[in-house]
Structure 1
Amino acid sequence: MTTTPAEQAAMRRALTLAATPGVPLGPNPRVGCVLLDAEGVEIAEGFHRGAGTPHAEVAALTEAGEAARGATAVVTLEPCNHTGRTGPCVEALIAAGVRRVVFAQRDPNPEAAGGAAALTAAGIEVEAGVMEPVARGINRAWTFAVENERPFVTWKFATTLDGRSAAADGTSRWISGADARRDTHTLRAECDVLLVGTGTVLIDDPQLTVRDEVDEPVEHQPLRVVMGERDVPADSRIFDAPGEAKHLVTRDPANALRQLRDQGRVHVWLEGGPTLAAAFLKAGLVDEIYAYVAPTFLGAGLNAVGDLGITTVTDQLRWHLKRASVIGTGADATVRLTLHPSKEGI
């Protein structure tokens, strides 16, 4: 079987629906669905709007009503075959009488997988893997978390040209320019956890929120987490800002990620100081780096990362540059380097 031009166009639309801005982040993947009639004309569409809401297929089937009978469902993720907060999409598609299902990414979740086989057993044509790399990209953190049983970790730091993240007196605001800080908030919003160490909270007392272009907190805030064994004052600003915050009393990165995964979290934005960054790097638990390099020198002060136990240049941790972007202009310009630990990345 092969896909028709109408099905390919429908998949592109479904992928756009899956990436709809403003959907609250959560433990579920982003999914879009488009229903086509026998002539390849769109009759309905839907997308998943967050945990506890109807899945994309059910939203589209509800919109289509009886017109779904004999239709083709084009969906970005293999229809689920289990009951969670909502029922199995496989059963909904079978009950609606669809004739054919075209999907992009196979479901890596063993609890929800098996949808394609169940649809085939019910006599429904199934085409898998259509534009799968694009679908995986939309759900890159969720896919990684399911396949690796831990959240995806993005480490962000700002540094001077001589590798300093703070001056000798401890001050660090602001190394990067205003445009780079706005860029950081845009990228922060793609994560469902913002993580720092107790040292950062005790020294900087950050709000650790995602803010918009006018510096106001956005509606849907990631979980703010401070990890470490030192006590954190109850009046720290991390606990006052909108949204939820918590203290994980552990110094072990693997333990912290395990606790966060158990809570359904899939993407951690690591923004702690050099000690916490070094702990995650040494544990091999950083999957992506955003390094903001400002055209400045300090000459002394905190390094961007702590001691990694490396004593010779042949043991250096080498990362692969995926992208370099200049953000801002003039003396306010900052270079953002996007790095992955392997050539392939994710």
Structure 2
Amino acid sequence: MASTVEVAAMRRAIAVSALGLGTTSPNPPVGCVVLDAGGRVVGEGFHRRKGEAHAEGNALAAAGAAARGGTAVVTLEPCNHVGRAPACRALLIEAGIARVVVAVVDPTSRGEGGVAELRRAGVDVEVGVLADEAELVLRPWLTALGRGTPFVTWAYSADAEDHRQVPALDVHGYDVVVGPDGQLREGTPGGHGDTFVLPGELPQGSPEKVLQALYAAGVRSLLMLSARGLAELYANAGLVDEILVHLPGRAASSPGGELPSAGFRVSAVRRLEDHVLVRAQREDPPFRAR
């Protein structure tokens, strides 16, 4: 069973992992915290983008020799293959890590998986620690992986007087943003490096074919800024995972404001200056990491 120190470290790793949202795709956003043999935090890291060091590599580099005999706390199972970056399970073994605490098992793990290889090398491994919390960050990547299309968020305004309005949002945590005119741009301009090249606008075809093409290009999360029309096609096809509704203050007493429809459940409501932001998620998420 994970200790209170390890649980606290996992929550820190989850928070750190979110720094990779919007730039890691097609790789997952992962965070890692390294504890020394006495349980003190000596290093942490996250994966920024494909081709660069993974979370474990960055955390071990920060910890240095203090990692030997210690514990690595990581949000996703250490990878078991060599790509542009070394296999993380090999880095952990070479660093002398004695114990690894994992939140979510990696469905893409090669061979028997990083956990099996670590155990074979004599490393104590515990899996499933705060998995539900880790999935708050990993959910778009896991969902996209499970069905072969990006996780789609639809944001619109419930202003009864002007449905063309869309909420002003921080878009940096999304791989790609689709404007009301159908134009595509990265949420963080240049954030993915050379891992994918986007067309200037949405490709032609059915919603599923369009999303499959974007997935093949490396996109794992997509934000659609659209009042109705375009985004409704994707929602009606069952391809929208999350809805963000901007509810202006005056709409509270106006009968025309539209909120999420059947098939979605409200997961958060908060006030932002003079309006309310309602977040709703699909009641039947298409993929779970279990």
| TM-score interval (norm. to shorter) | 0.7 to 0.9
Gaps of 5+ in 2: none
1:320–1:8 distance in 2 versus 1, CA, 3 Å? closer
Q: 1:342 aligns with which of 280, 283, 286?
A: 283
**Cα deviation, residue 59, structure 1:** 1.6
Q: 1:320 aligns with which of 260, 265, 271?
A: 265
**Cα deviation, residue 245, structure 1:** 5.2
Amino acid at match of 1:262: A
Identify the residue that residue 79 of structure 2 maps to in structure 1.
80
2:174 equivalent to 1:191 = yes
Q: Which moved more, 1:96-105 or 1:107-116?
A: 107-116
Return the alpha-carbon distance in structure 2 between the equivalents of residues 113 and 250 of structure 1. 40
Amino acid at match of 1:290: L
Return the alpha-carbon distance in structure 2 between the equivalents of residues 8 and 280 of structure 1. 39
Amino acid at match of 1:119: L
2:51 equivalent to 1:67 = no
- 8 Å contact kept, 2:155–2:244: yes
**Cα deviation, residue 71, structure 1:** 1.7
Query: Sequence identity of aligned pairs in percent?
Result: 34
Identify the residue that residue 18 of structure 2 maps to in structure 1.
19
**Cα deviation, residue 22, structure 1:** 8.3
1:26–1:40 distance in 2 versus 1, CA, 3 Å? same
- 8 Å contact kept, 2:24–2:47: no
2:214 equivalent to 1:260 = yes
Return the alpha-carbon distance in structure 2 between the equivalents of residues 61 and 38 of structure 1. 14
Per-residue CA deviations over 1:190-245 (Å, capped at 9, x if unaligned) read 21111247xx36xxxx79786xxxxxxx755699xxxxxxxxxxxxxxxxxxx965
- With the length of structure 2 as denominator, give the TM-score of the two structures: 0.82
Identify the residue that residue 141 of structure 1 maps to in structure 2.
140
- With the length of structure 1 as denominator, give the TM-score of the two structures: 0.70
**Cα deviation, residue 262, structure 1:** 0.6
Secondary structure of the equivalent of 2:32? strand
Identify the residue that residue 150 of structure 1 maps to in structure 2.
149
1:45–1:320 distance in 2 versus 1, CA, 3 Å? closer
Residues 62-141 of structure 1 correspond to what in structure 2 (within 5 A)?
A: 62-111=61-110, 114-141=113-140
Secondary structure of the equivalent of 1:268? strand
Gaps of 5+ in 1: 166-171, 211-217, 224-242, 306-315
Per-residue CA deviations over 1:25-53 (Å, capped at 9, x if unaligned) read 53222222222222212232222222211
How many residue pairs align between the two structures? 281
1:251–1:107 distance in 2 versus 1, CA, 3 Å? same
Amino acid at match of 1:257: L
2:158 equivalent to 1:159 = yes
Q: 2:241 aligns with which of 278, 287, 290?
A: 287
Amino acid at match of 1:322: S
Return the alpha-carbon distance in structure 1 between the equivalents of residues 145 and 139 of structure 2. 10
- 8 Å contact kept, 2:22–2:175: no
Identify the residue that residue 169 of structure 1 maps to in structure 2.
none
**Cα deviation, residue 88, structure 1:** 0.8
Per-residue CA deviations over 1:242-300 (Å, capped at 9, x if unaligned) read x9652343131101110111111111111245331221122111111112233369999
Secondary structure of the equivalent of 2:169? helix
Amino acid at match of 2:212: R
Return the alpha-carbon distance in structure 2 between the equivalents of residues 3 and 24 of structure 1. 30
Compare CA radii of gyration and give the structure with the larger one: 1
1:335–1:69 distance in 2 versus 1, CA, 3 Å? closer
Amino acid at match of 1:24: T
Amino acid at match of 2:144: A
Secondary structure of the equivalent of 1:24? coil
Q: Which runs of structure 1 show a deviation greater than 4 angstroms over 4 or more consecutive aligned residues? A: 110-113, 206-210, 218-223, 296-300, 343-346
1:36–1:28 distance in 2 versus 1, CA, 3 Å? same
- 8 Å contact kept, 1:81–1:89: yes
Return the alpha-carbon distance in structure 2 between the equivalents of residues 135 and 286 of structure 1. 22
**Cα deviation, residue 148, structure 1:** 2.3
1:304–1:84 distance in 2 versus 1, CA, 3 Å? farther
Identify the residue that residue 6 of structure 1 maps to in structure 2.
5
**Cα deviation, residue 139, structure 1:** 1.9
- 8 Å contact kept, 1:141–1:152: yes
